């Protein structure tokens, strides 16, 4: 409830006030009531007070009433040789609505203080019951608002998880701020020259225009907030004199500090002049921005901790892979040894000898893979050398051919000069095998042609492009 909009007749029971004031005339007190504009609401009786309507007294009473309204505190001053003026503010709550001025004979300071207390009691007794009820309702509303703010701060500190993404937390914070206020406000998080979160009440119109103006306003305030590192409040944006005029009427911007650095700003913007931002609003936004800063600090620590745990897992995996590679290397030694003896016992040109050669080649590739695993476990870089891609491709295709289904034909074109690259032959062999395997799996249902060769060539369908029979091409460089 805005009590500044109430008039004195609405706040004070003037009939009751007149009766009480009349009872004080026996104490040689003449009372006069002024509103906040200096207009006389209840005049001083002509036969009241020591000086009454003496020259200079009416002007002195008006000046004292104006001073009391400005200071919102009781004041006294002499009036004429034998008089004393005592003024008290009429503010039954927090808003000063006028002043009550008493004219009495000059008295010691103690008597003047007692007169002030008497006038304050008179005003308190004259306040209407309706206004007292309004004040009770207003206090209850303020208490409820404070309760909701404290609940919001408690939930923010309790339920925000450092593992959450900042975008989700920004969305939570801005929407909860709007829940505390109403549809005439906009909440944003501004970071690195752009709005990271923009929240408006559901059903708000012209959101795109509001977002563009919020971006401009947050950009204007960001440097000031970063420089002073404290909350900035502007309750009248007309002084900015922007063309076209802003849709916003007031703004509250608080810095989000992370590791003593300004991460960005948390902003609350008003689109209607409902009321100015008060100290309670400033304190709330400051606490929320601190909570957001604490979350971002914890989130960074969480990410570092997760990266450290991942490094530990990779280290443990490397040790495990190294142990397995050593054991597998022992098995390969036996395969290679017996394979070489088998090859030497078979006659030249026989099919069995050719199979034994293929077996040894596969074992050598497996041995090279084991070396790669050992290099990974020791965090060593793979050895690089000049490798002929054609030789690697021919060897890979020879291993792949027996496993192909009958519906897939394998073709290769190596008529150009051999291409050489600088790399690891085992890794190149594995890459080519994986590519060919993927192509075979893609054509397994309908069949087709798998062609490997140098240069660029478009895939074509087998049999003049019959449906369901695809063709794939793997291209190798055409030269060194």
Could you report the per-residue pLDDT of 221-262, keeping only the tens digit for each?
A: 998 898 898 999 998 887 777 777 788 889 999 999 998 889
- The answer to whether residue 72 scores a pLDDT higher than 50 is yes
The predicted structure's pLDDT at residue 210? 85
Mean pLDDT over residues 135-152, rounded?
Answer: 75
Weakest-pLDDT range from 75-79, 309-313, 352-356, 467-471: 467-471
- The answer to whether residue 476 scores a pLDDT higher than 60 is no
- The answer to whether residue 466 scores a pLDDT higher than 50 is no
- The answer to whether residue 1 scores a pLDDT higher than 50 is no
* Residue 382 pLDDT level (bands cut at 50, 70, 90): low
Distance CA 139, CA 133 (A): 10
- The answer to whether residue 459 scores a pLDDT higher than 80 is no
The residues that bridge with 198 in the sheet, in sequence order, are 188
Weakest-pLDDT range from 104-113, 140-149, 313-322, 462-471: 462-471
The predicted structure's pLDDT at residue 5? 61
The predicted structure's pLDDT at residue 472? 52
The residues that bridge with 90 in the sheet, in sequence order, are 98
Contact 375, 382 (CB under 8 A): yes
- Residue 123 burial (C-beta neighbours within 10 Å; 0-12, 13-18, 19+): buried
Token pair listed for 391:
């030789």
Query: pLDDT tens digits for 156-201?
Result: 777 778 888 899 899 989 988 888 887 788 899 999 899 999 888 7
State pTM to two decimals: 0.49
Q: Going along 296-370, which residue ranges are E strands?
A: none
Residues in the chain: 480
The residues that bridge with 12 in the sheet, in sequence order, are 127
- The answer to whether residue 265 scores a pLDDT higher than 90 is yes
The residues that bridge with 410 in the sheet, in sequence order, are 450
DSSP one-letter code for 403: G
**425-443 and 351-377 helices, crossing angle to 10°:** 110
Please provide the average confidence, as pLDDT, over all residues in the chain. 80
The predicted structure's pLDDT at residue 202? 65
Contact 209, 247 (CB under 8 A): yes
In the chain, pLDDT over 90 holds for what percent of residues? 9
Q: At 75, phi and psi to the nearest 5?
A: -145, 155
Contact 199, 186 (CB under 8 A): yes
Mean pLDDT over residues 315-330, rounded?
Answer: 80
The residues that bridge with 287 in the sheet, in sequence order, are none
DSSP annotation string for 150-217: HHHHHHHHHH--TTS-HHHHHHHHHHHHHHHS-TTEEEEEEETTEEEEEEE-TT-S-HHHHHHHHHHH
- The answer to whether residue 141 scores a pLDDT higher than 50 is yes
The predicted structure's pLDDT at residue 363? 87
- The answer to whether residue 266 scores a pLDDT higher than 90 is yes
The predicted structure's pLDDT at residue 454? 67
Q: At 436, phi and psi to the nearest 5?
A: -65, -40
Name, of 158-172, 363-377, 422-436, the range with top average pLDDT.
Answer: 158-172
């Amino acid at each position: 409830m805005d009590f500044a909009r109430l008039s004195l007749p609405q706040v004070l029971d003037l009939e009751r006030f007149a009766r009480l004031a009349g009872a004080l005339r026996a104490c040689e007190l003449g009372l006069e009531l002024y509103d906040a504009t200096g207009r006389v609401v209840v005049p001083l009786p002509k036969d009241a007070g020591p000086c009454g309507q003496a020259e200079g007294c009416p002007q002195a009473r008006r000046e004292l009433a104006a001073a009391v309204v400005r200071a919102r505190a009781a004041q006294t001053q002499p009036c004429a040789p034998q008089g004393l003026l005592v003024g008290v503010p009429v503010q039954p709550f927090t808003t000063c609505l006028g002043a009550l001025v008493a004219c009495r004979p000059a008295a010691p300071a103690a008597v003047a203080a007692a007169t002030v207390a008497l006038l304050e009691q008179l005003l308190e007794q004259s306040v209407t019951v309706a206004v007292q009820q309004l004040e009770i309702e207003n206090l209850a509303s303020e208490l409820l608002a404070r309760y909701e703010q404290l609940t919001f701060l408690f939930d923010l500190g309790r339920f925000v998880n450092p593992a959450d993404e900042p975008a989700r937390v920004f969305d939570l914070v801005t929407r909860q701020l709007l829940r505390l206020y109403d549809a005439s406000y906009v909440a944003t998080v501004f970071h690195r020259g752009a709005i990271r979160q923009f929240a408006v009440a559901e059903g708000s119109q012209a959101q795109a225009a509001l977002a563009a103006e919020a971006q401009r306003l947050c950009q204007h305030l960001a440097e000031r907030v970063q420089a002073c590192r404290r909350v900035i409040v502007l309750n009248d944006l007309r002084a900015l004199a922007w063309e076209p005029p802003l849709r916003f009427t007031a703004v509250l911007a608080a810095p989000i500090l992370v590791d003593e650095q300004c991460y960005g700003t948390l902003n609350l913007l008003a689109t209607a002049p409902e009321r100015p931002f008060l100290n309670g609003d400033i304190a709330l936004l400051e606490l929320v921005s601190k909570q957001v800063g604490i979350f971002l600090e914890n989130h960074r620590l969480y990410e570092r901790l997760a990266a450290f745990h991942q490094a530990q897992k990779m280290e443990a995996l490397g040790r495990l892979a190294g142990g397995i590679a050593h054991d597998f290397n022992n098995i390969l030694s036996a395969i290679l040894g017996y394979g070489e003896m088998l090859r030497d016992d078979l006659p030249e040109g026989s099919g069995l000898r050719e199979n034994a050669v293929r077996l040894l080649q596969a074992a050598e590739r497996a041995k090279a893979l084991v070396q790669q695993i050992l290099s990974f476990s020791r965090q060593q870089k793979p050895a690089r050398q000049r490798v002929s891609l054609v030789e690697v491709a021919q060897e890979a295709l020879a291993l792949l051919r027996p496993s192909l289904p009958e519906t897939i034909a394998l073709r290769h074109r190596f008529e150009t000069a051999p291409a050489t690259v600088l790399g690891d032959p085992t890794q190149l062999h594995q890459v080519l095998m994986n590519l060919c395997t993927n192509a075979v799996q893609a054509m397994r249902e309908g069949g087709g042609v798998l062609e490997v060769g140098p240069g660029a060539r478009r895939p074509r369908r087998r049999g003049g492009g019959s449906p369901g029979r695809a063709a794939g091409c793997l291209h190798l460089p055409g030269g060194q």
